[in-house]
Amino acid sequence: MARILIYTSPARGHLYPVIGAGVELTARGHEVHVRTLAPEVDRVRALGLRTEPIAAEIETREMDDWRGGNPMESLELGMKTFGERGLLEIDDVDAALKETQADALLVDTNSWGAQTVAEASGRPWATFQPYFTPLPAPGIPPFGPGLRRSTSGAGRVRDALMRRLIFSKMSRVAMPAVNTMRGRVGLPPLAGITDLLRRPPRVFYFTTEALEYPRTQWPESFRLVGPARWVPPADPPVWLAAIERPIALVTCSTERQSDRGIVEAALAGLPQKGLFVVATSAAYGPEEFAGATAPNCRVERYLSHGPIIKRARVVVCHGGMGITQRALSHGVPLVIVPFGRDQLEVARRVEYAGAGVRLMPSRLNADTLAAAVTKAESMTDGAKRIAAAFAAADADSAVADGLEELLRERTERGVVDQFSVVE
């Protein structure tokens, strides 16, 4: 059995998807170490994983992409965050390896420094990707702006021009920091962002082809494992049983962005449709919303979504991958109001799959949201089709199998190094 180090960026949306895999690896007899954001350490320890916080200075470098005035500015700010965190991750991961003597690493796709150390260590390593991949391919719109998929001649020209613009921008922003990291540990530079995406020996991609655009071929390193299933255990809130109306679950991002308008529009428009609004405001206090205590409305800062989704007729959200795939896992259609990050791409794919509606923030108000919800409610068949595909996948086992495959490959190559193996 092996010692395995899981390293995440400071985001719950990047920790929770990989927890189930850590639990599965532990059940198979491996010794699993986790480095993640400090407020979640006790929760992960309680699951039997040996967990410590990442360096405090990494966690305090907050994601500030919400300050961007457009998707390209937000993308640039996000990549600057990854670069600055990555430079700090090098010493943090090196210390974790010395402490744990890990035989293999599973690293967050957004943790560029951790990936650099993993590659330089000579150990088997992989990344996990909990959002739609930016990796380009023919027939796939370039990642970021949420362009509608088109296979026409004009669409191919549009995609080629936009891809060149977006990826050159991404590379200009990201690669100086990435190559500085690589130089610090003795690795050669990479030419562009696509090289970085293809670098890991394995990429565990937390979705299925049912929710992706069709590709003629996936890279050999990619494993589409399905959505993560682990969520923090929670009993239904005591007030849930008293709700008689159909429920609209409405959520904001757990990482701050300018998305409070989703809750405001829902409180103003959805009770008039006969729905009960259950909203989680996350970065905003419930007291900030004028309608929070109105009839047929309830706003909580944080609330386990699982028990609510089981009762929900529709989910209205920003398009985070976690809440989106959780809703679809239960066959619940969505209205997605994307503000940035990967959310524009999530919204388009849900629309493409016929499992929900995309509503841009510039058009968001009580009336447009009510109309979008009505349309989404007619898309239950599409959501159930995705749910069936998700039910056939087992991400936790697939990730564990993939890491064990890497470890076996090292053994079969006859690689002998200084790192011990747990008996």
Residues 6+ apart with CB under 8 A from 211: 325, 328, 349, 350, 353, 355, 386, 389
Structure-block tokens of residue 6: 């899981």
Mean of pLDDT values over 74-88: 89
Looking at 20-29, 193-202, 232-241, which range is the least confident one?
232-241
By the 10 Å C-beta count (0-12 exposed, 13-18 middle, 19+ buried), 413 is classed as: exposed
- Across-strand partners of 422? none
- Nearest alpha carbon to residue 19 among 403, 406, 400: 400
Residues 6+ apart with CB under 8 A from 334: 314, 315, 316, 317, 324, 327, 328, 350, 355, 356, 357, 376, 383
Q: Is the dihedral of CA 147, 148, 151, 155 positive or negative?
A: negative
Give the pLDDT of residue 256.
65
Q: How confident is the model over 98-137, as pLDDT tens digits?
A: 999 999 999 999 999 999 999 999 999 999 999 999 998 8
Look over the chain and give the mean of its residue pLDDT values, rounded to a whole number: 91
Considering the chain, what percentage of its residues have pLDDT values greater than 90?
A: 70
pLDDT-based confidence at 169, cuts 50/70/90?
confident
Do the domains at 3-229+394-412 and 240-391 have one common CATH topology? yes
pLDDT-based confidence at 166, cuts 50/70/90?
confident
In angstroms, the CA 339 to CA 15 distance is 22
Name which residue leads in pLDDT, 309 or 260: 309
Please report, for the chain, the start and end positions of each structural domain, with discontinuous segments joined by +: 3-229+394-412, 240-391
Residue with tokens 């919303």, as numbered in its chain: 289
- Nearest alpha carbon to residue 85 among 55, 65, 105, 106: 55
Give the pLDDT of residue 420.
33
The torsion angle over the Cα atoms of residues 359, 362, 365 and 368, rounded to 10 degrees, is -40
- Nearest alpha carbon to residue 288 among 259, 264, 252, 321: 264
Tell me how many degrees the CA angle 102-206-166 measures, rounded to the nearest 5: 100
Q: Out of 141-145, 186-190, 292-296, give the one with best mean pLDDT.
A: 186-190
User: How do strand 203-205 and strand 222-224 relate by DSSP bridges?
Assistant: parallel
Name the CATH superfamily for 3-229+394-412: Glycogen Phosphorylase B; (3.40.50.2000)
Please say if the pLDDT value at position 417 is more than 60: no
Please say if the pLDDT value at position 384 is more than 70: yes
Give the pLDDT of residue 290.
83
- Nearest alpha carbon to residue 208 among 231, 235, 227, 230: 227
Looking at 148-152, 238-242, 247-251, 346-350, which range is the least confident one?
148-152
Give the pLDDT of residue 416.
45
pLDDT-based confidence at 68, cuts 50/70/90?
confident
- Across-strand partners of 315? 249, 334
Residues 6+ apart with CB under 8 A from 350: 211, 319, 324, 328, 334, 336, 356, 358
pLDDT-based confidence at 69, cuts 50/70/90?
confident
Residue 130 near residue 14, CB atoms below 8 Å? yes
The domain 240-391 having CATH identifier 3.40.50.300: the answer here is: no
Please say if the pLDDT value at position 72 is more than 70: yes
What pTM does this model have?
A: 0.89
Q: How confident is the model over 260-307, as pLDDT tens digits?
A: 889 999 999 999 999 999 999 887 788 888 877 889 999 988 888 889
Structure-block tokens of residue 192: 């562009």
Give the pLDDT of residue 419.
40
